[in-house]
Amino acid sequence: MTDSSSALGPQRAAVAEACRRLGAEGLLIGTAGNVSMRVEDRVAITATGAVLAELTPDQVSVVDLDGKLVAGTLAPTSELDLHLGVYRRYGTGAVVHTHAPMATALSLVLDELPCVHYQLLALGGTVRVAPYATFGTPELAESVIAALEGRSAALMANHGAVTHATTLDKAVEHALLLEWACGVYQHAAALGTPRVLDEQRQLAVIEAAIARDYGTTHPVPPAQEEKR
């Protein structure tokens, strides 16, 4: 019997909250998609068949890195191998898989999402599209894990998208950023051929971001008193 009352309680609650947020943002619909969070050798992960936009902590299972259920009463998502494979390969802290509309639409027609906006550099730049494979299979897990090499996001052909990060909040933000970028690309492609940032321009953005500590707030120093 598994201990469903104490193991990773705060993390299970955080996974449920992340799912509800993703649902509110329109990235999840029904039971499609899955979210997980790793703590050392344990993973809190959404249960299969659960309505994610209404997820509760007791609908989040806990498994070890071999996939064995160690807490909870519900079977984990069918994409368990994908999540565990990302953790083993990249040592990350959280994984988010969605069937977000724009990301899924582009996965039907692109081989990769080019770096058309500098914010995509937060995901590693160009976003690869993993070849199609049936959901829940080792083949799908392997293709997505390969597409994530050096990246924080990948599209899944005719399926959806996956992001990962050191924290659950960051993985969710990556999913939102990816969906935004897919929407920008789709709108631009409807008007013409989107311009792609070349390697030199990408490098310049990275250098500017480092120099300015981009993405963090900076207090304005108090004005110096006028000399009398």
79 is catalytic: yes
* Cα–Cα dist 173/138, whole Å: 27
The answer to whether the beta carbons of residues 156 and 140 sit under 8 Å apart is yes
CB of 106 closer than 8 Å to CB of 130 = no
From the list 54, 79, 112, 226, the catalytic residue is 79
Q: Which two tokens stand for residue 91?
A: 């040592």
Q: Is 74 left (phi over 0), alpha (psi -120 to 50) or beta?
A: beta
Report residue 51 as tokens: 């309505």
Alpha helices (runs of H) in 25-152, residue ranges in sequence order:
80-90, 101-107, 138-147
Q: Which residues are catalytic?
A: 79
